A = this chain, B = another copy of it.
């Protein structure tokens, strides 16, 4: 008999003790309740700790309980704070009202999304890249499509990720069974190839020493480092994928924040249509984090080793596992891409970029080395020799500012913290003051 003691994060679950016959007994042998004979998914068992962002929220809540009167500044989870321009919310409100009319009522839309929106995305974000509307699939956010892509790919895939990177790539990889066991000594999953991205290599992996994998997750501008890969770097990446017969899953969720000439899409690189899927989002570009809207591009030329087009399988997944994004959110997306909507959003993006500059300047004035912030709404701050969870905890405790420990994005993020530029200006300025007070 094996004793298993569990604590649910929410609610009051009893302690369970179970035997082989899957009944539960308390320590004195009294039966407590029914236990199914359904084995827990070994992949779920293999997941390490909680998903990063809910974990940060939990720490936030604990801090608030400890200091109920402190004025907390949230520069942790990259959550937009500024109002959405009127022209966009009016379009969503109009769509809502129309649903109460016989003429304006709409039921199921196409699972792949409204074709007008798909074409507007092709025209706005992929001008001169030859993308067609039918290659663009509207989603309820990039994170959701990462999981749908993982369902599409299945367990029998080798995967490479940037280290550090957005944790959903690895976590979804573990869930579908691609990752192998977690190894405590390296803090890495056995079967995942970690492509280290550091200031030393220009935040771009040394591809000459990178193993061949089926799938390469690549995020640019990168979350968390804020680095936007250059045209030359992305050309190398596409050539690497082509030579290895790999598929790149390119995450361009932060493309709107690029200030220099770095590519905003992988499809700016010749040949990318044959090797790359691109996922992207309205979340950070349009403040749609709560409205939920994104898209995924699967070019017709992208085929599996047997010649079968990936787009056909992705279409099947979208039809079977998804039923389209909310039609109200899609109406908003269309308004985002109108000339007036687009211009208004650029002002909001510009506001967050000014925030980013204030944050970068603050940490630099403290003598710290700061990356990112220029092409992304995140500053990536180096605290040499210090554990990132300790730095996170120290900043929270001493300044009531929530950041994110770099190691939450992979072992390559150790010694760093990620600071989000999403916030009201007065909060950013107040954060700057508190940090300067504490560190000087």
Contact = CB atoms under 8 A, between A and B. Distances in A.
Interface stretch (A17-25, A63-71, A258-266): A17-25
Contacts of A102: 83, 424
Contacts of A287: 99, 105, 107
Secondary structure dominating the interface of A: loop
A11 interface: yes
A215 B38 contact: yes
A38 B292 contact: no
A327 B141 CA distance: 13
Interface string A74-88: 000101111111101
A33 B105 contact: no
A134 B11 contact: yes
A8 B307 contact: no
A184 interface: no
A301 B309 CA distance: 44
B312 A18 contact: no
B41 A313 contact: yes
Contacts of A176: 151
A22 B8 CA distance: 49
Q: Report copies per complex.
A: 2
A218 to B, nearest CB: 15
Contacts of A6: 307-309, 312
A37 B177 CA distance: 20
A291 interface: yes
Interface in A289-317: 289-292, 300-309, 311-313, 315-317
Most buried by B among A4, A39, A104: A39
A50 B147 contact: no
A327 B77 CA distance: 18
Given A40-B313, A290-B106, A34 B271 contact: yes
A3 to B, nearest CB: 9
Contacts of A82: 105
A38 B214 contact: yes
Contacts of A246: 36-38
Interface of A: 4, 6, 8-13, 16-18, 22, 24, 33-44, 47, 50-51, 53-54, 77, 79-86, 88-90, 92-94, 96-102, 104-109, 111, 132, 134-135, 140-141, 143-144, 146-148, 151-157, 168, 171-172, 175-177, 214-215, 242, 244-247, 271, 274-275, 287, 289-292, 300-309, 311-313, 315-317, 319-329, 332, 422, 424
12 contacts: A11-B135, A11-B300, A16-B307, A36-B302, A38-B304, A38-B305, A41-B313, A84-B99, A89-B98, A96-B96, A143-B320, A155-B177
